[in-house]
Structure 1
Amino acid sequence: MRIGFAGLGNMGGRMTACIVRAGHEVLGYDVRPENIAAAGARAASSAGEVTDGSDIVLLSLPDSHVVEAVVLGDDGVLARARPGQIVVDLSTAAPDSTVRLHGLLAGRGVAYLDAGISGGAAAAEKGTLTLMVGGEADRLDEARPVLELFATNIFHCGASGAGHTVKLLNNFLNAIALSATAEVMVAGKKAGLDLEVLLAVLNASSGVNFATLNRFPRIIHGDYLEGGLTNSLMLKDVNLYVELAARLGVAGLNAAGPVATFGMARALGYADRISNTVVDAIGDLSGGVRLQEKP
C-alpha cells in the first residue's frame, strides 16, 4: 500500500517518522518543506500530488477550516481522488464538517475515516497513540496495518463523525483535568507544600487524573513536555465541544472553566506554547508563581 501524508507538523511529522522507521516510503506534503525532510518523507508539491501517488492518504491538520481547504482545494484531495482509496483524517475537527467531507468523497468511491488521536507528542514519537475512528469498519480493517505503525489502540467508534466526536469528548475532559490541576498546583505552591508529596497524595486519592499522573511530575521539575497541543489549539478543541454540546442539546455547565483558563493563557502570551504552560499563566495572575525552583 502506497502511503501519503499531508500535514507533517508536531504530530503528523512524528507519525510519519514512525512509518518511515518501519521501512515504508511516505509521500509527504506540508506548508513547511523542512518538516517533510525532518520526518524522512519524500516531498510532494501539493495535497493533490500526495493523493495521486498514494493508496492511503493520512491528514494531520490544525482544524476543520484547514482540512476543508486541503480536501476541497483546486489541487486538493478530492480533485485527485480515485475509487478505492482511503483517506484517514487524524485531525481534531468538527464532526459536521467531517460527515460532509465523507459524503463528498464517497461520491468518488473513496473512504473517509475520521480518526481522532490521543497520547500527545510522546506517544506519537514512540508509535503508541490511541485512535478513535469513525467510518466504515471494513475500510478501517484495510487501513489498520498502516495505522498500527504509530498506534497501539485503535477503536472503531461508529459511523462517519463518531471518531471526531469521541475525540472532542476526550479533549474536553483533558482540558478540565489540566486546567483544574494547574490551579491546584499553583495553590499548593503558594501554600508552601512539597509538590512531590502533593502529587503522591493526589495520585493515591480521588483527585487522580491524567495531568497528575503524567504531566505534573515532570512540570514541577521544569520539563513542560514541549511538542504537544498548544494553548490555542486546546481552546479551539474546547470551543468545538461547546458547539457539539449545544447542537446535541446537552447542558454545557462545565465549559466555562477551561474556556476562561486557556483563553487567559492565550491572552497572556502563551498562545503557541504547549498547553501545559497554562500553569505558568495561572501563576502569572497569582503573583508570579512558578512550580519549579529557580536554579
Structure 2
Amino acid sequence: MRIGFAGLGNMGGRMAACITGGGRDVLGYDVRPEHVTATGAEPAASVGELTDGSDLLLLSLPDSRVVEAVVLGDDGVLAHARPGQIVVDLSTAAPDSTTRLHGLLADRGAAYLDAGVSGGAAAAEQGTLTLMVGGEAEVLDRARPVLELFSAHIFHCGPSGAGHTVKLLNNFLNAIALSATAEVMVAGKKAGLDLATLLAVLNASSGVNFATLNRFPKIIHGDYLKGGLTNTLMLKDVHLYAELVARLGVISPNSAGPLASFGLARALGYADEISNTVVDAIGDLSGGVRLHTTEQAPPREEPTR
C-alpha cells in the first residue's frame, strides 16, 4: 500500500515521521516544501500527483475550508480519486462537510474516513495518539496497519462524520479544562499559593483534569509545551462545537467560557502561540501575572489590525 500525506505541519509532520520511522515510504505534499523533507518523505509536486501516487492518502489540515480546497480543487483529490483508494482525514473538521466529501468520493469508488486525533504534539511525536474514526469498519481495517504507526488507541465511532463529531466533543472538554484551569492557576498565583502544592491538591481531588495532570506541571516552570494546538485553532474548534450542538438542538451555556478565554488570547497577540498561553492572556489582564516568575510581565503591545 503506497502512502501519501498532505499537510506536514505541527501534527502532520510528526505523524508522517512516525510512518517513515517505521520503515514505510511516504509521498508528501505541503505548501512549505521544507516540511516534507524534514519528515523523510518524498516530495510530490502537487495534490494531484500525490493522489495519483497513493493508495492510502492521509490529510492533516487546519480546517474544513482547507480540506475542501485540497479535495475539491481542480487538481485535487476528488479529480484524481480512483476505486479502492482510501482517504483518511486527520483534521478537525465540520462533520457535515465530512459526510459530503465522503459521498463525493464514494461516487468515484474511493473511501473516506474521518479520523479525529487527540494527544497533542508529544503523542504525535511518540506515536501514541488516540484516533476517533468515522466511516466503514472494513475500510478502517485496511488502513489500520498504517494508522497504528502513530496511534496507540483507535476507536471506530460509527458512520461517516462520527469521528469528527467525537473529536469536537472531546476538544470542547479539553478547551473547558484548559481555560478554567488557567484561570484557577492565575488566582492561585495572586493568592500567594505554592503552585506545585496547588496542583498536587487538584490532582488528588475532584478538580483533576487533563490540564492539571499534563499541562500545568510544566507551565509553572515556564515550559509551555510548544508545538501543539494554537489559540486560533482552539477557538475554531470551540466554534465548530457550538455550531454542531446548535444543529443538534442542544443548548450550550458552557461554550461562553472557552470562547471568551481563547478569543481573549487571540486578541492580546497570542493567536499563533500554543493554546497553553491562554494562561498568560488571563494573567495579562490580571496584573501582568506569570506563573513561572516572581516578577510581573510587562504589558503587551496592542496587536496591529
**Range class of TM-score, shorter chain:** over 0.9
Shift of 1:47: 1.5
Query: CA deviation digits over 1:249-282, x for unaligned, max 9?
Result: 0011100000000000000000000000000000
Distance 1:223 1:40 in 2: 28
Query: CA deviation digits over 1:172-209, x for unaligned, max 9?
Result: 00000000000000000000000000000000000000
Distance 1:113 1:33 in 2: 26
Shift of 1:48: 1.4
TM-score by length of 1: 0.99
Residues 196-275 of structure 1: pairs in structure 2 closer than 5 A = 196-275=196-275
Q: Match for residue 62 of structure 2? A: 62
Q: Match for residue 10 of structure 2? A: 10
Tell me, yes or no, if structure 1 residue 85 matches structure 2 residue 93: no
Distance 1:95 1:74 in 2: 23
Residues 101-112 of structure 1: pairs in structure 2 closer than 5 A = 101-112=101-112
Shift of 1:87: 0.2
Distance 1:277 1:45 in 2: 36
Shift of 1:119: 0.2
Q: Match for residue 185 of structure 1? A: 185
Aligned AA (1:280): D
Q: Match for residue 300 of structure 2? A: none
Partner of 2:61, secondary structure, is coil
Shift of 1:146: 0.3
Q: Match for residue 292 of structure 1? A: 292
Query: CA deviation digits over 1:206-264, x for unaligned, max 9?
Result: 00000000000000000000000000000000000000010000011100000000000
Partner of 1:255, secondary structure, is helix
Distance 2:89 2:74 in 1: 19
Tell me, yes or no, if structure 1 residue 71 matches structure 2 residue 71: yes
Identity within the alignment, %: 83
Shift of 1:293: 1.9
Tell me, yes or no, if structure 1 residue 33 matches structure 2 residue 66: no
Distance 2:184 2:24 in 1: 45
Shift of 1:45: 1.2
Shift of 1:46: 1.4
Partner of 1:157, secondary structure, is strand
Aligned AA (2:262): F
Partner of 1:88, secondary structure, is strand
Partner of 2:253, secondary structure, is coil
Aligned AA (2:45): S
Distance 1:263 1:95 in 2: 23
Query: CA deviation digits over 1:22-75, x for unaligned, max 9?
Result: 001100000000100111110001111111001000000000000000000011
Partner of 2:273, secondary structure, is coil
Moved over 6 A (4+): none
Distance 1:293 1:63 in 2: 36
Distance 2:294 2:134 in 1: 46
Aligned AA (1:230): T
Residues 18-29 of structure 1: pairs in structure 2 closer than 5 A = 18-29=18-29
Structure 1 gap ranges (5+): none
Partner of 1:223, secondary structure, is coil
Shift of 1:294: 5.7
Aligned AA (2:23): G
Tell me, yes or no, if structure 1 residue 132 matches structure 2 residue 136: no
Residues 117-196 of structure 1: pairs in structure 2 closer than 5 A = 117-196=117-196
Aligned AA (1:106): A
